[in-house]
Structure 1
Amino acid sequence: MPTPITPDRYDPATAAAMAGLGNGTDGLPAYLGIRTTHVGPATMTAELDVRADLLNPFGTLHGGVLAALVDHVLGAVLYPVIEQGRWAATTEFKVNLLAAVRDGSLEARSTIVSLTRRTAVVQVEVDNDGRPCGLAQGTVLIAEPRAST
């Protein structure tokens, strides 16, 4: 795992809110069954159980499911360390699929490796029951608060 940055700011209340993402909330994280298991300064871990409805016709996990898990932890890891009201938008990420996944569970660990006021670079390692199956890196835009309408 890469060495995480030491952020200037860390909000435990926001970290607690991020820990609840996917744990029974609506949307894609809930559909996929993503469970956030750890949020710390510059790090986040989430899990997903491999289910039959997430497999492709060849009996392996669809790459888009692993990519969705990566994208989830890629952006959510930033919220406890960015200013309140700012938001994170993934601008790009690349995933290396290292091994086929047929069953078990995935664990994705994200680490912020670079952070400026406007951008961040995050690396994500994904294991399938302890076996490396994915490695990703992405860039995230950190945007100003949205204007209220």
Structure 2
Amino acid sequence: MAHDAIRELVERVTYAPGYTKAVGTRVESAEAGYVVMSLAKTDNLLQANGFFHGGVIAGLADHAAGGAVTTAMPPGRFAVTVNLQISFLAPAKGGSLIARARALQVGSTIGVARVDVVSVADGAETPCAIATVTLRGVAFPAR
């Protein structure tokens, strides 16, 4: 699959109506088996102390993993989450989050990705979470 087609595939899923579009998830880059997504800080994504909410971090990691695995699956397949294991490393108190997802193993029906999530403040990145995500390939939804 050509580089432009890979990015188009990830953008199609990310910018469709739903959670990722509503919170402002952005596709920064996409290639076969590797996706980078970001999310800017807004008040509705924070917990009481002003840090990104853990559920928002997990949601970004989950979606980035889905993109990475989907790009490595056979055409017409779409990765949906079976299991997400996330470990929070530090408060995400920056102005944005970046999730870097890499497909580790992808077959015709199951894929596994690792995601590193960082919080960005004044250009400096602080690791805030790591996730391992197992996904299952299903038929891609009709347009």
> What is the total number of aligned residue pairs between the two structures?
138
- Structure 1 residue 89 corresponds to structure 2 residue 61: no
Matched to 1:80, the amino acid is T
- Structure 1 residue 55 corresponds to structure 2 residue 46: yes
Q: Structure 2: which 5+ runs fail to align?
A: none
- Indicate the structure with greater strand content: 2
CA distance in 2, matches of 1:106, 1:74: 15
Q: What is the CA-CA distance between 1:112 and the residue it aligns to?
A: 0.6
Aligned to 2:72, what secondary structure does the other structure show? coil
Map Cα deviations across residues 55-83 of structure 1 (whole Å, 9 max, x no partner): 11232211110011011111112223222
User: Would the aligned equivalents of 1:41 and 1:80 in 2 still touch at CA under 8 Å?
Assistant: yes
Q: Which of 46, 58, 64 is the aligned partner of 1:73?
A: 64
- Structure 1 residue 99 corresponds to structure 2 residue 94: no
CA distance in 2, matches of 1:35, 1:147: 21
Q: Which of 7, 25, 47 is the aligned partner of 1:16?
A: 7
Percent of residue pairs identical = 25
| 2:133 alignment counterpart | 138
| 1:3 alignment counterpart | none
User: Would the aligned equivalents of 1:109 and 1:124 in 2 still touch at CA under 8 Å?
Assistant: yes
Q: Which of 35, 55, 75 is the aligned partner of 1:44?
A: 35
Distance 1:146-1:102 versus aligned 2 partners, 3 A rule: closer
Q: Which has the larger radius of gyration?
A: 1
CA distance in 2, matches of 1:108, 1:147: 24
Distance 1:91-1:19 versus aligned 2 partners, 3 A rule: closer
TM-score for the superposition, normalised by structure 1: 0.82
Aligned ranges 1:22-33 → 2 under 5 Å? 25-33=16-24
Q: What is the CA-CA distance between 1:30 and the residue it aligns to?
A: 1.5
TM-score for the superposition, normalised by structure 2: 0.85
Map Cα deviations across residues 8-62 of structure 1 (whole Å, 9 max, x no partner): xx45354122342577542111111110011012100001011112111232211
Instruction: Report the RMSD for the aligned CA atoms in angstroms.
Output: 2.3
Q: What is the CA-CA distance between 1:138 and the residue it aligns to?
A: 1.0
CA distance in 1, matches of 2:37, 2:24: 10
| 1:117 alignment counterpart | 108
| 1:34 alignment counterpart | 25
